[in-house]
Structure 1
Amino acid sequence: MSFALLVAGTTHETPQQVVTRYNNYKAICNGIGFQNVRCKGNAYNNISGIFTAPLDGIYSFTWTMLTKSGKYFVTEIVLNGQKVALNHTDGRGHDGYPMSTSHANIKMKKGDKVWIRTHNTNGQYAHGGWCYFSGAKL
């Protein structure tokens, strides 16, 4: 059972439009919605941005964020609302488009929920189409 996702956004949206839409969404549930689902096992809801474990077990999650020079984007993966791990993508003082990847193996029970959200208020800029979230049951 696995899934692979791309951050909300299309090739026709500017990064600013993606972040604006994300910030509007964040005000509702503080999560990042990855809408372009590539390999879905029906456990990920691309509207809410939440993965719900269909079975007990250990799940392996990876997420990648890309920002741009002068901006930053700090995210965390959460299990049932509790922080598990962080991802800090920092382009301040750098040229180009910095990218960072984080990984977490999480023991889940059937019905547990995992999602990616901004860490506190640390989300200035995420580049649409270059951010990913994937997971698989081990």
Structure 2
Amino acid sequence: MTHVIVLMLVFCGVSGSATTEAPFSPNELSGNITNAAVQGFSENITNAVPFYDPFPVNQQDIDNFRQQLNQESLIRLSLTNQMYSLLKDVIVMKKQMGQMDSIIQELAHRKNSDKEAVFFHASISKHLQFERNTPVNIIYDTVLSDSHKAYSFQSGVFTAPSSGLYIFSWSSLVEAQKILNTELIANGLVKGRSNCYNEGGPGYENCSGTVPVILKAGDTVNIRTHKGNYVYGDGWSSFKGWKN
């Protein structure tokens, strides 16, 4: 552009007067035009076209933005803490469920063990006579059934093979003019009695007793006379028990 202007001025000077010298040299003219033009153009552009920000931001907007970021950070932190807390609860729950499962299996095993049938049945084969006021253990010498071989036909004592609730029943046949009052003894303690008083009776008398007893494994049970002098045998008098 500068070169064009210089050429135009030169041409005008030449055409106006062939002998007239140009007032400026091409270099001076080019430098003056360039400096003046550029400076003026810059000033005009600066003054005429102000800077425009398409996204103006003030301090209030910045503060609001920071507040939103803080709130979002707090929310994320709260959610993270809740997630870890929930994860811990799940882990604890899994451990508790594992322990509960072990307990259930153990209880099921015990239940199956407890359901195992335990029973015995024994009777007296011969008639027995006793001293009326001297308590003695009655021996039921004929074993009809015994699931765990827990009854001794030699001592007349039943030994519980496992813990639980047991039902014991015994019956006695007594001749006329005889008496047989009996007691059920568990670990040396009286748990039940049966009265078969027939000293004034003209015929036979049959007496029985039934008692529930809670036993531990190894506890003993037997029948003992309280006052008695006779019991009829031949299988008519018996002692039996079973686990409920």
Both proteins in one fold, TM over 0.5: yes
Structure 1, residues 21-79: CA drift from partner, whole Å, max 9, x if none?
A: xx49xx8x931110110011201011011000000000000000111111110110001
Q: Which residue of 1 aligns with 2:212?
A: 105
Q: Which residue of 2 aligns with 1:33?
A: 139
Match for residue 128 of structure 1 among 233, 236, 241: 233
- Could you list the runs of 4 or more consecutive aligned residues of structure 1 that deviate by over 6 angstroms after TM superposition? none
| 1:99, distance to aligned residue in structure 2 (A) | 0.5
Report the count of equivalent residues: 123
TM-score, reference length from structure 2: 0.48
Cα RMSD, aligned residues only: 1.7
Gaps of 5+ in 1: 10-14
Higher helix share: 2
1:8–1:33 Cα contact (<8 Å) kept: no
1:3 aligns with 2:120: yes
1:4–1:40 Cα contact (<8 Å) kept: yes
Gaps of 5+ in 2: 1-117
Q: Which residue of 2 aligns with 1:72?
A: 179
TM-score, reference length from structure 1: 0.83
**Matched-pair identity in %:** 32
Determine the C-alpha separation between the residues in 2 that align with 1:8 and 1:44.
Answer: 16
Determine the C-alpha separation between the residues in 2 that align with 1:71 and 1:34.
Answer: 19
The structure number with the bigger radius of gyration is 2
Higher RCO (CA < 8 A, seq sep 6+): 1
